[in-house]
Chain A
């Protein structure tokens, strides 16, 4: 199943997310938008960490840990916003 979401991060940027679900797990995911992340390549690490995961509140901590471990800073985006967008995309998935 494929799902998309457009989510305005509160006090942040516009997040556009698309994902592929397989047996309720994330098979692939793209986190897109006009936010900032330093270093930029951090986005691939976060996306890779989300692959294989079930849709659960724990994803917020997973994103935060990935960011902390890799020294990733986000502006106009945070882990909660990514999770919100994931939930919307899952709701839209077909």
Chain B
């Protein structure tokens, strides 16, 4: 029995012990497991947002312990970077749907809010409750991000709360009954009726500090806000507009959750409405709360979710492997909605630990084998800096940004990089392709050119050229630092040929370093 087979069997056993393998999946063969180096890079990027260091790789490869993968997952989950990495991910989930560009300034407070939760108990229900009931000054209260991203628009807040926390795209029913699902127009507006009393006040001051998210429960709000083009904005109750004549008063809606029957009476204060909405959304009676996050985490970690859309679920959609989905949801709920527990189970599955199959591979078992992903902008940025041996603080890190500043957010090195490489995690992954500015930044930017300059003693390459006189060793070291694996003999051969043909050692290794940082393998998590 060779080691790969042994590993596969062990994974199958782990899965079985975890109550994972069901009758359905027992019939499907366990996908072949990826090698250790691939696993470590995958897990490191997923949990702490960077590639493993050469020392971590060597130690992991040399470790004879059969439980080393699980041990690595535990070690990475305990790393403080776990909270930052996933806070940045959920920041993108929320802010890519902003209707107002200025809401980009919510990035930092939102990250701080999310990282705080993730570093503590990582309870997804607490995150949801805080965000649904959020109030306060946005720069101090990252939980107001959904409200700020939609600039207080009642219907848009309802749509986003539903999308992010239940995976149900109820807003498709905003103007008409849903085309394919059961949702009626009335149900969307009943849900929106939980949120009409959220108001954003604007005071003096700069940036986000001048705003405040408040409850507005007293008349005469309507009279205060004069906007002839939006006559109903500012009402204390939500109205479903008359489609035939939008200038007529609409139908006043009572707050009611589309996945239950309880309704609140008209006149209920904002605090009570939102507390109720948060309770209904996060309740264990609402299966979509767990399903949405389980589907999301599975899709991010394995590559495909149980549903085709990462946030387009609902009772009219058929999941793949419903038993597995239910089992994961059961465990997630019994672990008090702990995201760490969820991630731990997913990463222990044979699907997560399998050899990557291309998204373009038509025969690929969807959601049952790992699928390569383009790195998210934050992962790639950290990976580039790590590979080049550059400290983020040294390139003008986050400390330089003004509080609440939109410009600061956009023009910090990381923010600028995110502008070029960022993508909305809600999009189907086959839509995410590289852009010209991305290629130009990696292949042709001056800071990168300087950072791979072998003639300078203070660059990583300059140092390595001096420290490692053996070309093989240096070529291998560069592979370890960029791709987090040893070079194959064929790759060493290509590198040695290049050194010989170039005739200038420093120039040749600059080219090799450049080629590795620009490679398809570098920008993918495979």
A interacts with B = no
* Residues of B near any A CB (own CB < 8 A): none
* Residues of A near any B CB (own CB < 8 A): none
